Amino acid sequence: MNRTFLPLAFVFAFSQLVWAQQTPRKNPESTEIWEPQPRIVTPGKENSAAPSDAIILFNGQHLDNWVSLDGTPAKWTVGDGAMTVVRGAKDIRTKQDFGDFQLHVEWRTPPVTQANQVGQNRGNSGIFLQDRYEIQVLDNFESKTYSNGQVGSVYKQHIPLVNASKKPGEWQTYDIIFTAPRFNNEGRILSPAKVTLMHNGILVQNHVDIWGPTEYIGLPVYEAHGKGPIRLQDHGDAVSFRNIWLREL
């Protein structure tokens, strides 16, 4: 090192030390924020029970919050605290529309009874967010199908990080955090929808961008829209649902 540089470096370091000693130290209270206080939400008394600010979409007793796609009363069956798909009764959707939300759903696929019940033919259903974006419900316990169509997928878009399936006939849980897409005044997409999904308490979708409305064939294309309902799919299998609640965000 250049000898003339040593005294300069020493002078600089010494001046910094003097400055630090002369500058008043801030107390910890200077970085504390007391207002506003977060509002109080009371958790459910049991695991997966609805918190105090949740909207109860299905309480195990009736389908008053649901209708068929044509607006007539929902035709699925209700019994033992669950609603079950009736083959041919078609999809049902909530009467209420939602934007950003946290959604809890418990579901159960029926037991496998036939040898041809494989892949997409085992306990197939779906949960459509805002009536457009499908989270796949499927029995993938020791059963293989295309990865972007298996349980926990954003159907035909995002493969789940892991397969967290339980055996058919056992109750499973989805906890979904959904951020709706934003559009400008001309209907152009500003930010895509985003979703985080926990399957049986395990992260399987980590704040992924949804590419557009779910399409069985072809690529998704966004069209401007507002809030939308939650839709449950009749895919012909007797899939059951219970304990469905939602928190608007």
What's the pLDDT tens digit per position in 175-225? 999 999 999 999 999 999 999 999 999 999 999 999 999 999 999 999 999
Q: What pTM, to 2 d.p., does this model score?
A: 0.87
Q: Mark residue 221 as left, alpha or beta (left: phi above 0; alpha: psi -120 to 50; beta: remaining).
A: beta
- The per-residue DSSP string of 4-18 comes to THHHHHHHHHHHHHH
Q: Quick check: 164 and 203 in contact, CB under 8 A? A: no
- AA letter at 35: E
pLDDT at 5: 46
| Domain with residues 55-248, CATH architecture | Sandwich (2.60)
pLDDT tens-digit series, residues 67-106: 999 999 999 999 999 999 999 999 999 999 999 999 999 9
Band (12; pLDDT cuts 50, 70, 90): low
pLDDT tens-digit series, residues 40-56: 999 998 888 999 999 99
User: Measured between alpha carbons, how far is residue 163 from residues 120, 200, 205, 216, 241 in Å?
Assistant: 15, 10, 11, 22, 20
CA-to-CA distance for 99 and 203, rounded, in angstroms? 22
Average pLDDT over residues 242-247: 98
Domain boundaries, the chain: 55-248
Q: Quick check: 125 and 107 in contact, CB under 8 A? A: yes
Max CA separation in the chain (angstroms): 90
Closest CA to 109 of 130, 127, 124, 91: 124
pLDDT tens-digit series, residues 161-174: 999 999 999 999 99
pLDDT tens-digit series, residues 84-95: 999 999 999 999
DSSP 3-state of 148: helix
